[in-house]
């Protein structure tokens, strides 16, 4: 551990976390923990959830208020961080409280000779069940507000405190790669190596499960649901979608339906309700559908989806169901899930994300052209974005391709009144990803869905 005599310079560029001198490697005994409500807290070494080196430091807290860790446990470090620019560290939170973390965090306090610096991020940057990389500028900036107590000096830092707070009570969080760092201002990470010959890094090959609830309806002469209500055939629709994606992504997005599962049965709703042929036909006739939404957690569990995604067998689920099933147009499940036209499904721990797209059978158009609602381009805007396409342009192309012609814009907007909002949403996502770009690149996220 460096003392004042030697400046504490761990790195000289954005290539961080080389692990040369991190404070979080097999030394939990030197860490302290606190809880402002005096709830139980403990820190320990952990070799299972690790980002840098061979071990992280795990905090288990029962607190529902200000809680966190201190390193070292006693404020006696005397580090000279005056030539460093940042404090860097990783967190992986495991918070089962439904409302998650409370307030902007992590809050970092540097206890120094003469006083302390407190750093608070402008938003919550403690994300649940995914590694997050924090770089706290020691001088503060627009994103990290620094407040001063007393007359602190970065030349004599004695202790690092990291504060967290949850709604409800109790969570576990792992800290790793904690170190002072020097990062060139405005610097971008160095470019990565060129891809091997013959490898296109922009190519996305998604393995999709086509899952179709298409019950045989005895009260409709033994027809499948889609035929009984004169709706499009889901397998044919899917073939066209795949073709559209290939052409509209210029050959960069190549989804592959690896399995088709057509189920003679009905989906479950969140309150446990399940239609049968009679009750579903009544709902179609009256237009009064069951209001409890589609039970994603049960669907994923009943069909072993999480296991298959984790193994790499599947990347996406394309789900068809009848009108009124209460599905989102698209949603995401797994660790670090984020908004994908809906909030992510909670309660599906998985180290790989899966994107699930909901599609309804819909009536054939007058020209005999089956179509989906919502339009398929909407689902895959983020995917197309990931392969370098502009989402709104892609939406246009997908619609034009699906409809066999480029319809006048005003007319098309009337046909899909929600699309403008979707386009806006995609642009918001694009901006957010752009802001996060460097973080994503640096964080070397584990293999997961191409959306990141």
User: Which residues bind to Ca ion, rule: CB under 5 A?
Assistant: 24-25, 52-53, 64, 102, 165, 176
Nearer to Ca ion, 52 or 204 (CB): 52
Nearer to Ca ion, 36 or 219 (CB): 36
CA distances from 66 to 62, 102, 161, 283 (A): 11, 10, 12, 50
Nearer to Ca ion, 52 or 241 (CB): 52
Q: Is the C-alpha dihedral spanning 226, 267, 243, 393 positive or negative?
A: positive
DSSP-assigned letter for residue 229: T
**Whether residue 128 has a cis bond before it, omega within 30° of 0:** no
Nearer to Ca ion, 55 or 350 (CB): 55
Nearer to Ca ion, 62 or 323 (CB): 62
For the bound state, the minimum distance from the C-beta of residue 238 to Ca ion, rounded and expressed in Å, comes to 45
Q: Which residue is nearest to Ca ion (CB)?
A: 53
Beta strands in 361-426 (DSSP E): none
Nearer to Ca ion, 58 or 356 (CB): 58
Nearer to Ca ion, 38 or 247 (CB): 38
Nearer to Ca ion, 165 or 316 (CB): 165
User: How far is it, in rounded angstroms, from Cα 354 to Cα 305?
Assistant: 9
For the bound state, the minimum distance from the C-beta of residue 444 to Ca ion, rounded and expressed in Å, comes to 15
For the bound state, the minimum distance from the C-beta of residue 56 to Ca ion, rounded and expressed in Å, comes to 5
Nearer to Ca ion, 61 or 248 (CB): 61
User: How far is it, in rounded angstroms, from Cα 236 to Cα 255?
Assistant: 15
For the bound state, the minimum distance from the C-beta of residue 29 to Ca ion, rounded and expressed in Å, comes to 14
User: How far is it, in rounded angstroms, from Cα 382 to Cα 74?
Assistant: 47
For the bound state, the minimum distance from the C-beta of residue 26 to Ca ion, rounded and expressed in Å, comes to 8
For the bound state, the minimum distance from the C-beta of residue 91 to Ca ion, rounded and expressed in Å, comes to 12
Q: Is the C-alpha dihedral spanning 381, 384, 385, 386 positive or negative?
A: positive
User: How far is it, in rounded angstroms, from Cα 91 to Cα 408?
Assistant: 50
Ramachandran category for residue 68: left, alpha or beta (phi over 0 → left; psi -120 to 50 → alpha) = left
For the bound state, the minimum distance from the C-beta of residue 290 to Ca ion, rounded and expressed in Å, comes to 36
User: How far is it, in rounded angstroms, from Cα 82 to Cα 110?
Assistant: 12
Nearer to Ca ion, 24 or 112 (CB): 24
For the bound state, the minimum distance from the C-beta of residue 32 to Ca ion, rounded and expressed in Å, comes to 17
Residues 6 or more apart whose CB falls under 8 angstroms from that of 316 comprise 206, 207, 208, 209, 255, 354, 355, 356, 357, 449
Closest by alpha carbon to 46, among 54, 38, 37, 55? 55
For the bound state, the minimum distance from the C-beta of residue 339 to Ca ion, rounded and expressed in Å, comes to 24
Residue 137: strand pairing partners: 86
For the bound state, the minimum distance from the C-beta of residue 21 to Ca ion, rounded and expressed in Å, comes to 11
Give the three-class secondary structure for 177. Answer: strand
**To the nearest 10°, the Cα dihedral for 93, 99, 104, 110?**
-40
For the bound state, the minimum distance from the C-beta of residue 175 to Ca ion, rounded and expressed in Å, comes to 9
CA distances from 393 to 237, 306, 347, 363, 402 (A): 22, 33, 35, 26, 14
Nearer to Ca ion, 171 or 229 (CB): 171
Closest by alpha carbon to 386, among 310, 309, 299, 450? 450
Which stretch of DSSP H or E encloses residue 214? none
C-beta separation of 452 from 440 below 8 A: yes
């Amino acid at each position: 551990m460096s003392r004042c005599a030697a400046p504490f310079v761990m790195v000289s560029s954005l290539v961080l976390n080389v692990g040369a001198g991190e404070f979080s490697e097999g030394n939990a005994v030197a860490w302290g923990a606190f809880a402002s409500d005096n709830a139980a807290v403990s820190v320990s070494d952990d070799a299972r959830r690790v980002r840098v080196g061979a071990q992280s430091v795990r905090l288990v807290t029962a607190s529902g208020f200000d809680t966190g860790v201190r390193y070292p446990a006693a404020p006696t470090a005397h580090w000279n961080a005056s030539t460093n620019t940042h404090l860097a560290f990783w967190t992986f939170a495991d918070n089962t409280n439904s409302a998650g973390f409370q307030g902007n965090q992590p809050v970092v306090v540097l206890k120094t000779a003469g006083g302390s610096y407190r750093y608070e991020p402008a938003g919550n940057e403690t994300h649940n069940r995914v590694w997050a990389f924090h770089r706290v500028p020691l001088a503060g900036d627009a994103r990290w507000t620094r407040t001063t107590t007393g007359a602190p000096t970065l030349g004599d830092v004695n202790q690092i405190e990291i504060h967290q707070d949850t709604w409800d009570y109790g969570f576990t969080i792992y800290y790793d790669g904690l170190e002072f760092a020097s990062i060139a201002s405005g610097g971008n990470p160095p470019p990565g190596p060129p891809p091997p010959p013959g490898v296109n890094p922009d190519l996305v090959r998604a393995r999709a499960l086509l899952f179709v609830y298409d019950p045989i309806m005895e009260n409709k002469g033994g027809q499948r649901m889609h035929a009984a209500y004169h709706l499009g055939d889901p397998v044919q629709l899917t073939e066209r979608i795949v073709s559209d994606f290939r052409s509209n992504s210029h050959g960069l997005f190549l989804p592959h339906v690896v399995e088709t599962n057509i189920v003679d049965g009905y989906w479950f709703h969140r309150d446990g309700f399940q239609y049968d042929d009679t009750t579903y036909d009544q709902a179609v006739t009256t237009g009064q559908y069951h209001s409890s939404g589609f039970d994603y957690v049960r669907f994923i569990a009943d069909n072993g989806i999480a296991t298959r995604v984790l193994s790499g067998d599947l990347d996406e689920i394309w789900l068809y169901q009848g009108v009124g099933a209460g599905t989102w147009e698209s949603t995401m499940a797994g660790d670090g899930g984020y908004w994908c036209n809906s909030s992510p499904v909670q309660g599906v721990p998985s180290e790989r994300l899966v994107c699930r797209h909901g599609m309804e059978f819909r009536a054939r158009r007058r020209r005999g052209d089956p179509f989906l609602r919502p339009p398929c381009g909407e689902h895959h805007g983020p995917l197309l974005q990931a392969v370098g396409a502009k989402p709104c342009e892609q939406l246009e192309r997908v619609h034009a391709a699906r409809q066999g012609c480029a319809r006048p814009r005003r007319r098309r907007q009337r046909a899909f009144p929600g699309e403008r909002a979707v386009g806006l949403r995609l642009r918001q996502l694009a901006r957010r990803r752009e802001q996060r770009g460097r973080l994503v690149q640096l964080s070397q996220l584990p293999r997961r869905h191409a959306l990141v």
